[in-house]
Amino acid sequence: MAVKIRLARRGRKKAAQFDIVVADSRAPRDGRFIEKIGTYDPNTNPASINFDGEKAFAWIMKGAEPTDTVRAMLSYRGVLYRKHLQLGVIKGAISQETADERFTSWKEQKDAKIEGKRTNIGTAKDEARKAALAAESKVKEARAEAIRKKNTPAPTEAPAAEGETTDAEATAETTEEAGA
């Protein structure tokens, strides 16, 4: 019997969520399975991958073959790297302590990288929200200023002081002189 680690779809239309299951390769995609080891939600950013690493590692070591998508998830979480290190221990290339140390340091670096991505996404969203709010307030102030100008009566012209002539009067005087 060929055993696969694969995804089983659930969730509503256009909002899929998946269970990560160990199943016989001849069973239907959403049919019978041997064991559910986790969940996968591609609708979040970054995608939510939750599974029991120990169970996945145990099934991988027993010979279960992951599908391409599940292989990428297992690699992302370090299960395949752990298998690689364990095979080195079995062959006698490295000791168990060295393998555990290497895996622990890799896991810490990977977790820091994932957390950094989450915080960058969160800060980018906050900055975009603040920028949109600032742009919206500028537009609101411009509209308020336009309405204020529209509703304010136009100031009447003050009469000219003695000795000063306005442009209209100066034009009238020059046309009279030209005509005389």
**Torsional sign, CA 114, 120, 126, 132:** negative
Question: Given a cut of 70, is residue 108 above it in pLDDT?
Answer: yes
- Rounded average pLDDT over 99-117: 90
pLDDT in tens, 125-160: 888 888 888 889 888 888 888 888 888 876 666 555
Over residues 20-79, the pLDDT tens digits come to: 999 988 888 888 889 999 999 999 877 888 989 899 999 999 999 999 999 999 998 889
| Architecture of the domain defined by 1-80 | 2-Layer Sandwich (3.30)
pLDDT of residue 171 exceeding 90, the answer is no
Q: Which residues, in sequence order, are CB contacts of 49 under 8 Å at separation 6+? A: 38, 39, 40, 73, 76, 77
pLDDT in tens, 66-92: 999 999 999 988 899 999 998 999 898
pTM beyond 0.75:
no
Q: Give the separation between CA 29 and CA 7, rounded to whole angstroms.
A: 7
